[in-house]
Each structure stands twice: as C-alpha cells, then as structure tokens.
Amino acid sequence: LGKTIASDQGAIKLQGSRDGKGFQWTEGKQLLFYPSHTENTRAWIQSEFSVDAEGLRQLTLRASKADDYGIYRILLDDVVLRDRYDFYSQNLEITEINLGQYKLQVGAHLIRFECLGKSDSSKGFNLGFDSIRLRERFEVKRTTPTDLY
C-alpha cells in the first residue's frame, strides 16, 4: 500500500500476531480498520498508490476474514470494483481477492473501502488487509500452442 492512508469515522492500527508469525500476513502484519459505524454513517478507509508505467495490471487484494469483520464496497479511483464484499468468517483466514484487470495510467491511484454494514453472524464492522498487489499483464492476446490440442 501507499504511504498515504486516510479514514473517516474509524481508527487505523498496524496489527501483528501475539506469536509474531502474523497469520501469513506480509511481514507478519496487517492494516486493521475499526470503524465507528452506526446505521446513519458510512465509515471508510483509503490508500493512495503510484504506478510508474502505464499498462494493464491485475489487482489482487490480500485480506483477512474474521468473526468481527464487516461488509465493504471496494473502489478504485471512484469506480466500483466490488459492490458488496463480506469479510466475515467464523475463523480467521487469509484470502486473496481478485479485483480484476485494469489499464492504469502513470501516477497516483486511490483504493477505497466503504463500510456498508455487517452480516448477522459478525460481531463487528472491522476490516483487515496487508497488501494490494499489482501484477503486470500482457496486452497481446496469445494463441494456444498447437501441441496442446
């Protein structure tokens, strides 16, 4: 993630595990967002990142799911990538969420998470993630080699 992180109606914390292993988080830590969510407000967190060269990129969010996590809308540069994604799980688990492929221009981009609520089973509205991965993709359509037919 970029160095510019902002939020509204919530607190941000860098979370590590008690045993230092970090539940397979990158470098043993994740960014944890505690929204002060009520039915009348929409808490959010966002981060800016930069792209050095224009090109097609695969965006993958490496995030946690847990019993006190909420439902979020995910946006990139004000475009909705996921209208509703439920981060609830009965047990803590790490997941990689495919956010799609996008042609990104050189410069700053903003990824934003807007809290929409929580599932009935969840104890809270939290969100935890450790990275957004940008993988360069080829823009040329490839043909299948003849020896694979």
Cβ atoms of 89 and 66 within 8 Å: the answer is yes
For 31-58, write each residue's pLDDT tens digit.
Answer: 889 888 656 568 899 989 899 999 999 9
Q: Spell out a b/e string for 76-99, using b for 16 or more CB atoms within 10 Å of the CB, else e.
A: beeeebeeebbbbbeeeebeebeb
* Band of residue 7 on the pLDDT scale cut at 50, 70, 90: confident
What would the pLDDT profile of 93-137 be if each residue is shown by its tens digit? 989 999 999 999 999 999 999 999 999 999 999 999 888 888 887
Of 2-6, 60-64, 88-92, 105-109, the poorest mean pLDDT is in 2-6
Q: Give this prediction's pTM.
A: 0.82
Q: Phi first, then psi: give them for residue 2, nearest 5 degrees.
A: -75, 175
Residue 120 confidence (pLDDT): 94
Q: How confident is the model at residue 9 (pLDDT cuts 50, 70, 90)?
A: confident
The proportion of the chain whose per-residue pLDDT surpasses 70, expressed as a percent, equals: 80
